[in-house]
Amino acid sequence: MRRRAFLALLAAGGGALATAGCSTVADARADRGSGVIVSYAAPFDKVWAALPAVLGDLGLKVGADNMAQGYMVVESGASAFSWGERVAIFVERIGTRGHTRVEVVSKAALGINITAADWASRIHEKLGQRFKRL
């Protein structure tokens, strides 16, 4: 009886741990202002148009986008090293010279996932190959 109770407790605790700290797409969007921000000497439309190719080069897929509000939500699936990540990309026009600010917020899909990739630096590196940084 004790063993059965222990196993049930262990299973319940493991399930709670696995779901605790999960990051959702809405969480990634809600974390605007906490990501890595880089400004580029390129118009909004060109940066926006380049993002799907940049993300594709990195093996990421756009889950949702809204050009009018200037955001893309990207998901990375689970791998041998990670439970996956959720990435929100915020693109906004700055100034009158046609410059654009890009913020990338990268969150682990599971809060306890210490091996989750940080996509912000990788995305900005690829964008930096296409556009001059300010």
Predicted pLDDT of residue 92: 96
Q: How far apart are CA 123 and CA 58, in angstroms?
A: 8
Residue with tokens 């407790």: 9
* Domains of the chain, earliest start first: 21-130 (3.30.310.80)
Q: How far apart are CA 55 and CA 15, in angstroms?
A: 32
Residue 15 reports pLDDT greater than 80: no
Predicted pLDDT of residue 101: 97
Residue 100 reports pLDDT greater than 90: yes
Buried-state track 1-12, b at ≥16 Cβ within 10 A, e below 16: eeeeeeeeeeee
- The reply to whether the predicted model has a pTM over 0.85 is no
